[in-house]
Amino acid sequence: MTRAFLSGRRAGPPALWNDIQGWLTSGETLTNQIAAAHGHNMVAQNYNLAYGAWAGYGEDGSGVDPAWGMWWNTDCTNQAGFDFPAGWSTNRMYWFDPASTAWQDYIFGREADAMSVYDFDGWHVDSFGDVGAVYDCDGVLLDNEEGISALLAAAADDLSPARITFNAVANFSTDVQLAADLEFNYVEAWETLGQTTYADLKDIIDHNWAVTGKPTVIAGYIDYDYAKSTTTHQKLFNDAGVRFLDSLLLASGGSHIELGEGDEMLSNEYFPARNVAMSSSLYGSVRDLYDFGVANADLLYDPDLTPNARTVSLPGIATSTDGTAGTVWTFARQRDGEDILHLLNLLSATSEEWRDRDADMPAADVRTDVTVRYYYGSGTVGDVKVASPDSDHGAYAALSHTSGSDGSGNYIEFTVPSLEYWDMVVVEVDR
């Protein structure tokens, strides 16, 4: 939080301080990390709650007024917030009405302080998602969606040219944030808030493309329960769970924030945690996935891509259009001149749940020489090619195809050499 960054002082901030969990933080290290990010043409943002203050805010000289708060009741006696475990730097985060212009003036000032002391490029705005029924001190029920939208729009204006990112927990309030004109959507996913399956995550990405015309970064912490039993590198992430989740998010036109301190992978919402390590094989697989996403950005993130509901079948292999375990999940998108087919291999999966909470998702049941029949509708089919981050570092291979028709319509048939976790097939169609 910004208050921790500066310990209340813009001039001469301390060299060392404790973060919210009590871990020691170095201003010099922070400065060096920001500089290193800039050296790689990366944006550096500080991560700070949109509407929170630590316990004791009324006595610390900050000037924050309880009258700006969110309240569980209508008589301004029980301030809404969230309790933290014993031993943290604060035992509670108290919440404030994001629509309050007085609160906005305060928090924007603290953000300006942080960006004047450290060379941040902007603010990664955190939230708690849908906090339920909360009130202001006059007993008026607050519309938190509209409040967050107002705060984000005001922040984009007040802190310009700072770049604003917002964590729409469980996709809460994404639909009303358009006034802030965020560069992309960012959603932290939780089963308790409705994001249980792979399909739930894809639904969020699809919805946000349709409503905002922009991609979504998913914050989804894998191997969550498995990681809780250790605080050091005594365990390794499960390659299969990571590779399938990353494949699904990229294929859907989204992406995954999953790296924390240094080259560590995230197993929970506290990004500096280093509970579980990546194997050397997972390093290579993740690198190939990232390279594939960048190399094929035009086919994954083009705003002109639209959903394509035409049938993709794999004769002799079970398929689904909803990510059912024990199937190959098929879906497609299209743009003028091209249909992009995605084959996601869940044949060995025993669950549709994305978290892989106990790190026990089986490795992919690799299939070779897989016949694919695609019902393309009308038009003339040209070249067909396939690529996968699982094979030859994502290089494309041309595929020969045959044409036919049956009671379901016109189709082409071709064979992909291998299907491990994810194949992407590009079909040229002149319609």
Residues 256 and 310 in one domain: no
Show which of 300, 330, 365 is a domain's final residue: 300
Radius of gyration, alpha carbons of the chain: 24
Domain count, the chain: 2
DSSP character at residue 172: T
Helices (H), 189-279: 198-212, 224-228, 239-251
Domain boundary among 244, 273, 300: 300
Same domain, 26 and 136: yes
Kindly give the residue spans of alpha helices, DSSP state H, lying in 229-375: 239-251, 280-295, 297-300
Distance separating the N- and C-terminal Cα atoms of the chain: 53
**CB count, 10 Å around CB of 250?**
23
pLDDT at 142: 98
Q: Are residues 321 and 289 in the same domain?
A: no
Residues 222, 347, single domain; the answer is no
Choose one of 300, 326, 342: the last residue of a domain.
300
> Residue with structure tokens 């048939």?
413
Please give the average per-residue pLDDT across 111-131, as a whole number: 95
* DSSP β-ladder status, 319-320 and 328-335: parallel
Average pLDDT for the chain:
94
| 70: CATH | 3.20.20.80
Contact 82, 1 (CB under 8 A): no
pLDDT over 90 (residue 123): yes
CATH number for position 362: 2.60.40.1180
Residue 316 sits in the same domain as residue 284: no
Task: Report the number of secondary-structure helices (H) and strands (E) in the chain.
Answer: 9, 22
Q: Are 388 and 425 spatial neighbours (Cβ–Cβ below 8 Å)?
A: no
Nearest to 316 by CA among 306, 304, 308, 328: 328
Domain region containing 41: 2-300
**Do 23 and 75 share a structural domain?**
yes
Based on the domain organization, do 7 and 33 belong to the same domain? yes
25 with 121, same domain: the answer is yes
Shared-domain flag, residues 261 and 359: no
| Together in a domain, 251 and 316 | no
- Confidence at 3, pLDDT banded by 50, 70, 90: very low
pLDDT classification of 6: cutoffs 50, 70, 90: low
Q: Alpha helices of 9-64 — where are they, by DSSP H?
A: 27-39
Phi and psi angles of residue 209, each rounded to the nearest 5 degrees, phi first: -60, -45
Banded pLDDT at 287 (limits 50, 70, 90): very high
- Together in a domain, 338 and 262: no
Claim to verify: residue 320 and residue 273 sit in the same structural domain: no
- Given a cut of 80, whether residue 2 has pLDDT beyond it is no
